[in-house]
Amino acid sequence: MKKFTGRYTTNTAKALKGSERILCQVSEDGTIYICNGFLLCTMNAPEYAATVQPLTCCEPGAWTFDKDGKHEDEAHKLDLVKLFADTVRDTADAAPLARAPFTVQAKKAPAACYYNADADFAAIYDTKFIDALHPATQLRTTSAISAALAYINDEPFAVVMPIRAEPNAARAIRAFFTEAAEDNTKTDEADKLRAELVQAQEEAAALRGDLYRAANEIDELKNKLAELHETKTEQPAEQKPEPKTAAEIIAARWAEVDGLTATIKGATTAAPVVWLAGDTKPHEKEIEAAGGKWSGKKNPYYFRVAGYKTQAETARRGRPPRMAARR
């Protein structure tokens, strides 16, 4: 488990140990600058005391430390303060790098992998220098071969030099991030389609409900219509007025015989006459028995009301009706 001292870890001393040389400078504001050619750190006094001083056994100042010990005569040859300020300026507009969850093997050491989505490039850094920095560190750089500036809470505090990545390694890192982005896009599209499908299914279910209710209403209307047809009674046929006069009674009697029509002439006179027309031949005996007379002039039968005999009267006499001579 890593232990932290400010912005650095206990691995900071391990990252500096074995360096060909270590440079130290102190700025006017008291910031301590430590650099081994691959890692440039800005430190406060507690950070220096916890990470560098146990290794060099030197107080902060302007010196160079190598296998032969501390030297103060070469410390001015590289301006660490200016180098750090220049890197801050150069990376001011650079986008943060995304770190991959894997490492690649560089020529001399395993390397941590990063990707800049805005500029579409991959960069790798020695893992021992990355492990020297707090896990919350964020890197920014302008290219795969440029120095990367380390930030915590948008405050720059260190510079890390990159390792030149082999083409295959760079392609693998880029593929990891771009394919993951494409997969996320496909997932988003799939989620959108699923949401649209759910909405369409809900709308279809609502329509099915409407159709079901409409079908029930149609069935109810059909049932009501059928009931109306069943309960509908035929309008009674228009009843003919009951005959009142004798002539009307005679006319009504013969009008009911198929093929005959009866007409009253002189209905308002004292001696009305009922004339029969139509097919009288099948009924001539019955007509004559009732008192009907044949009119040779007009060729129909007729009844005088005064001489009309009902069927009952004809039966009581017990004799057939007298036939009228036809001309």
pLDDT digits (tens, 9 = 90+) for 245-259: 888 888 888 888 888
Q: Are residues 250 and 157 in the same domain?
A: no
pLDDT at 305: 76
Q: Which residues of 28-40 are buried (b: 16+ CB within 10 A; e: fewer)?
A: eeebbbbbbebbb
Q: What are phi and psi of 43, to 5 degrees?
A: -135, 155
The number of domains in the chain is 2
Question: How many angstroms separate the CA atoms of 237 and 250, rounded?
Answer: 22
In a domain, 195, yes or no: no
In a domain, 168, yes or no: no
Domain termination residue (choose one: 113, 135, 162):
162
What Å distances lie between residue 36 and 13, 144, 164, 252, 323, CA to CA? Answer: 11, 20, 18, 141, 160
DSSP state for residue 94 in the 8-state scheme: P
Range with the lowest mean pLDDT among 43-47, 115-119, 226-230? Answer: 226-230
Average pLDDT over residues 316-327: 46
Structure confidence at residue 76 as a pLDDT band (50, 70, 90): low
Q: Are residues 142 and 34 in the same domain?
A: yes
Q: Determine the structural domain holding residue 253 and report its residue range.
A: 246-317
Q: Are residues 136 and 11 in the same domain?
A: yes
pTM: 0.55
Element (H, E) at 86: helix 80-90
Q: Are residues 38 and 139 in the same domain?
A: yes
Q: Are residues 41 and 133 in the same domain?
A: yes
DSSP state for residue 112 in the 8-state scheme: E
pLDDT at 318: 47
Q: Are residues 142 and 264 in the same domain?
A: no
Q: Are residues 144 and 255 in the same domain?
A: no
Q: Which residue has the higher pLDDT, 5 or 140?
A: 140
Q: Are strands 63-66 and 21-26 parallel, antiparallel or unpaired?
A: antiparallel
The percentage of the chain sitting over the pLDDT mark of 90, rounded to a whole number, equals: 46
Assign residue 221 a region (left: φ > 0; alpha: ψ between -120 and 50; beta: otherwise).
alpha
Residue 118's nearest CA partner among 136, 97, 102 is 97
Residue 141's nearest CA partner among 175, 177, 101, 90 is 90
Decide if pLDDT at 276 tops 90.
no
Range with the lowest mean pLDDT among 44-53, 137-146, 190-199, 294-303? Answer: 190-199
- Per-residue pLDDT tens over the stretch 213-223: 888 888 888 88
Q: Are residues 268 and 154 in the same domain?
A: no
Residue 137's nearest CA partner among 35, 273, 237, 39 is 39
Sequence-ordered strand ranges (E) for 153-212: 155-160
